Structure 1
Amino acid sequence: MAKTQLNVRVDEDTARAARERALASGMSVNRYIEELVRRDLGELGQTFVDAAADFMKQYETVFAQEFGADREGRRRPVE
């Protein structure tokens, strides 16, 4: 995968913490930041999926009544 340079300004305490955490994890600061972002994306993505599933579960009957679909999403005949 091609790499893109990203310049970020942080305060000295944050920079020091990033260096220390990266060293303790046995990786470069660059790799450490990449892992943080990837982990964050994964968690946010899963949070979205969980919230969407919860929403659909809560409003399943409302959608079925409004749109006439059974649990498998097939259209029911209009009564």
Structure 2
Amino acid sequence: MAKTQLNVRVDEGTARAARERALARGMSVNRYIEELVRQDTGEAGRTFMEAAADFMQQYESVFAEEFAETRGTPPGEGRH
């Protein structure tokens, strides 16, 4: 994919935060900004939702049991 240069002006605090966040994630500021835009436009949102659905499927029984106890339903008689 061809790259296009985009110049953006931000205040020093925002620039510092971008540098710090990128460094903490082990990536360039450029890549960090690209990822933020992708997330905002939904590309990463799909991946997140798939991971969240997988997590919920894996731990469904744990959540069902926990919420059954808080609702007063005996353990094991939660939603199946």
Q: TM-score, normalised by structure 1?
A: 0.54
In structure 2, stretches of 5+ residues that fail to align are: 47-80
Q: What is the distance in 2 between the residues matched to 1:25 and 1:42?
A: 20
RMSD (Å), alpha carbons: 1.8
Percent identity of paired positions between Structure 1 and Structure 2: 89
**Alignment-derived partner of residue 9 in structure 1:** 9
Please tell me whether Structure 1 or Structure 2 has the larger radius of gyration of its CA atoms. Answer: 1
Structure 1 outlier segments of 4+, above 2 Å = none
Q: TM-score, normalised by structure 2?
A: 0.53
Q: What is the distance in 2 between the residues matched to 1:3 and 1:23?
A: 22
**Alignment-derived partner of residue 42 in structure 1:** 42
Q: What is the distance in 2 between the residues matched to 1:12 and 1:3?
A: 25
